[in-house]
């Protein structure tokens, strides 16, 4: 930073005031992060207890530490197939969304064409469509074409909100790449396809990463559509969780363990894109 | 950036168009179709005109749900936007702790929505949840399954927990894009903390804040899973928001006509409000650029 040399001087002049200010922000952040972590901690805590301990004693941390709840999930196909199903359709959705969104985002960022701004807003309106509105028609549409209870059905349904989002994010990142690069490449005799894959995509690699992250995230967290479109073969983990709640006597420990396991993939991918998260949430417009 | 006019760019947009048409336009037409027809079963439909729309417009059930929905979205926005900005202002600007805060704050955003519901359902229970147990121990009567007020407090705190980080992350991205020169100039002018916020940080954050408001409005207006898992729309109908009511009507009772009419009006309301936000946002973009 350019003001690194100026910093020590200003600190010595206004030291007491500065120290107080830092403390306030540390307190604020600690409280906020604590507020975020407490419910998650409680879930983790419950997942490591036996069901009798959950129901009979109120303990702030597990007295009889047990991994039995996790073992139940990881050995029972009815449970772990849910994770596999979820991951399959989430990955499918991410690939489809990015494949169609890349050329479209390029077109929006580089060219003007008939109805471009209207088209752009229309795409965004699909991000605004309440899934509840689409649940029933999707059910009928995919049943009629024989795709009901398949992974591809859920992946396509999630394109409804992920494709517009991917176009938006990628367009924002592509705007930052100077147009001269395209022109130079064309003069050098690159065809559009070769230029796009060999030169352009590496340039916006971080943008593609962020878009992929967001497609992954919104497909992973969605429940209403994925539950409506599946019964057995492609049932996502979140739907399996809601069904077990209906059974007589809820096994809180297993439920909590299943919840903790759904947080893991998100936590993993977040680590890779941590420096671009904010820019991605701003749809590449910062 | 100057854009060249090129109608061939349509070919690049075509895949998106086809895909979105398949997954949005066809289902939407189905909904429109149902909204103007009636059935006695056996797949026999006949024209009903605008009857369903008329019925829904006069149904107390929909107006009540809309009222609750508007109240929910309004409360959510008034808490989350200022709180998010406040958190962003207090975040460490760089280094390890900045990354740490970013990762921890993003965590709630990546939890499947029904798990968010489950977390708070457990957390709020008087017998096994930390929150419910603590409140009970303090002598505050709190039962989100029976008390309307407690149910509302629970779903609002849950949403604040779930989404405030999004606003904070956006505001933080906006703050980071402000050049140091602005702060140095403010220091020379001996501007107060409030003045710096009001005349430098807030205007510079306006663009991303509009995105935050737009996203938060849209998502809070279509919220379904989280309150459904926690309260199931109860006690009574106290937390039956629009989406919950719609799913109940369409998939639970299979009242296709009214549900379709409801859907269309629901969608139009979101579209209208979002269009207003979007126009404001684009104009802000233009003025800055």
Backbone phi, then psi, for B284, in 5-degree steps?
Answer: -60, -45
- As a whole number of angstroms, the distance between CA B127 and CA B109 comes to 27
Mean pLDDT by groups of 10 residues along chain B of 289 residues: 78 88 84 79 70 80 88 94 93 84 88 89 84 85 84 92 91 85 90 89 84 86 86 82 84 78 85 83 71
- How far does the CA of residue A187 sit from the closest CA of chain B (Å)? 17
Establish if A278 touches chain B: CB-CB under 8 angstroms.
Answer: yes
Q: Which residues of chain A have pLDDT under 50?
A: 1-15, 247
Q: How many CA atoms lie within 13 A of A135 on its CB side?
A: 28
Specify the pairing of strand B4-5 against strand B37-39: unpaired
pLDDT at A10: 44
pLDDT at A82: 87
Specify the pairing of strand B37-39 against strand A111-112: unpaired
pLDDT at B42: 61
- As a whole number of angstroms, the distance between CA B32 and CA A204 comes to 40
pLDDT at A279: 67
- Best probe of the B interface among A55, A137, A170, A274, by most B CBs < 10 A, is A137
Q: Residue A34 corresponds to which tokens in the numbers above?
A: 């604590």
What is the pTM (predicted TM-score) of this model? 0.84
Is domain B60-288 given the CATH code 1.10.3720.10 in the classification?
yes
pLDDT at A273: 77
- Determine the residue of chain A that is closest to B3 in CA distance: A111
What is the three-class DSSP state of B62? helix
- How far does the CA of residue A104 sit from the closest CA of chain B (Å)? 4
Q: Taking the domains of chain B in order of start, what are their residue ranges?
A: 7-49, 60-288
pLDDT at B73: 93
- As a whole number of angstroms, the distance between CA A113 and CA A125 comes to 20
Q: Return the number of CB contacts < 8 Å for A and B.
A: 291
Establish if A125 touches chain B: CB-CB under 8 angstroms.
Answer: yes
What is the three-class DSSP state of A230? coil
Task: Give the nearest partner residue to A131 out of B7, B180, B222, using CB atoms.
Answer: B222
Q: What number is the ipTM of this complex?
A: 0.84
Establish if A246 touches chain B: CB-CB under 8 angstroms.
Answer: no
Establish if A32 touches chain B: CB-CB under 8 angstroms.
Answer: yes
Cβ distance A130 to B113 less than 8 Å, yes or no, reads: no
The length of chain A, given as a count of residues: 286
A170 with A102: CB under 8 angstroms?
Answer: yes
- As a whole number of angstroms, the distance between CA A152 and CA A107 comes to 27
Note if the bond before B235 is cis, omega within 30 degrees. yes
pLDDT at A18: 53
Distance of CA A164 to the CA centre of its chain: 15
Cβ distance A121 to B166 less than 8 Å, yes or no, reads: no
The residue with tokens 């107390």 is B60
What is the three-class DSSP state of B266? helix
> How many other β-carbons are positioned within 10 Å of the β-carbon of residue B197?
14
Which of A:155-174 have CB within 8 Å of B?
A: 156-157, 159-160, 163-164, 167
Task: Give the nearest partner residue to A241 out of B105, B114, B278, using CB atoms.
Answer: B114
B37 with B48: CB under 8 angstroms?
Answer: yes
pLDDT at B68: 92
């Amino acid at each position: 930073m350019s003001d690194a040399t100026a910093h020590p001087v200003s600190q010595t002049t206004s030291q007491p005031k500065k120290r107080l200010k830092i403390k306030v922000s540390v307190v604020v952040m600690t409280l906020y992060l604590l507020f975020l972590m407490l419910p998650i901690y409680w879930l983790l805590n419950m997942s490591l207890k036996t069901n009798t301990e959950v129901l009979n004693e109120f303990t702030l941390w597990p007295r009889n530490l047990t991994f039995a709840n996790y073992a139940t999930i990881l050995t029972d196909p009815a449970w772990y197939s849910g994770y596999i199903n979820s991951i399959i359709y989430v990955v499918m959705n991410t690939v489809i969304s990015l494949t169609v969104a890349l050329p479209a985002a390029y077109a929006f960022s580089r060219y003007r064409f008939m109805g471009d701004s209207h088209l752009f807003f229309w795409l965004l309106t699909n991000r605004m469509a309440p899934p509840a509105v689409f649940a029933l028609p999707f059910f009928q549409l995919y049943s009629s074409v024989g795709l009901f209870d398949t992974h591809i059905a859920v992946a396509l349904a999630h394109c409804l909100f992920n494709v517009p989002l991917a176009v938006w994010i990628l367009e924002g990142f592509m705007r930052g790449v100077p147009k001269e690069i395209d022109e130079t490449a064309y003069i050098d005799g690159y065809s559009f396809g070769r230029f796009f894959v060999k030169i352009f995509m590496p340039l916006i690699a971080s943008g593609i990463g962020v878009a992929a992250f967001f497609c992954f995230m919104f497909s992973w967290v969605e429940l209403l559509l994925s539950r409506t479109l599946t019964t057995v073969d492609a049932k996502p983990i979140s739907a399996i969780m809601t069904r077990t709640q209906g059974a007589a006597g809820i096994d809180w420990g297993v439920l909590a363990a299943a919840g903790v396991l759904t947080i893991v993939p998100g936590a993993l991918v977040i680590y890779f894109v941590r420096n671009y998260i904010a820019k991605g949430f701003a749809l590449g417009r910062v | 950036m100057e854009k060249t006019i090129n109608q061939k760019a349509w070919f690049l947009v075509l895949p998106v168009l086809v895909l979105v048409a398949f997954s949005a336009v066809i289902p939407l037409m189905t909904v429109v179709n149902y909204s103007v027809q009636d059935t006695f079963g056996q797949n026999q439909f006949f024209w009903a005109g605008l009857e369903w729309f008329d019925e829904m417009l006069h149904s107390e059930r929909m107006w009540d749900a809309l009222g609750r929905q508007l109240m929910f979205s309004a409360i959510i926005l008034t808490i989350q936007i200022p709180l998010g900005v406040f958190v962003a202002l207090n975040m460490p600007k760089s280094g390890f702790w900045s990354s740490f805060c970013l990762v921890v704050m993003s965590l709630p955003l990546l939890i499947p929505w029904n798990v968010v519901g489950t977390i708070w359902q457990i957390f709020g229970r008087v017998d096994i949840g930390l929150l419910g147990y603590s409140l009970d121990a303090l002598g505050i009567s709190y039962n989100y399954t029976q008390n309307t007020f407690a149910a509302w407090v629970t779903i609002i705190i849950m949403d604040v927990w779930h989404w405030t980080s999004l606003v904070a992350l956006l505001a933080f991205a906006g703050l980071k894009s402000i050049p140091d020169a602005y702060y140095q100039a403010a220091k020379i002018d001996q501007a107060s903390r409030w003045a710096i916020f009001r005349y430098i940080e807030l205007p510079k954050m306006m663009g991303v804040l509009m995105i935050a408001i737009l996203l938060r409005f849209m998502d809070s207006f279509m919220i379904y899973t989280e309150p459904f898992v926690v309260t199931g729309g109860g006690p009574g109908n106290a937390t039956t928001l629009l989406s919950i009511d719609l799913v109940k009507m369409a998939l639970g009772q299979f009242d296709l006509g009214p549900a379709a009419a409801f859907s269309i009006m629901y969608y139009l309301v979101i579209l209208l409000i979002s269009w207003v936000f979007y126009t404001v946002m684009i104009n802000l973009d233009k003025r800055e650029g």
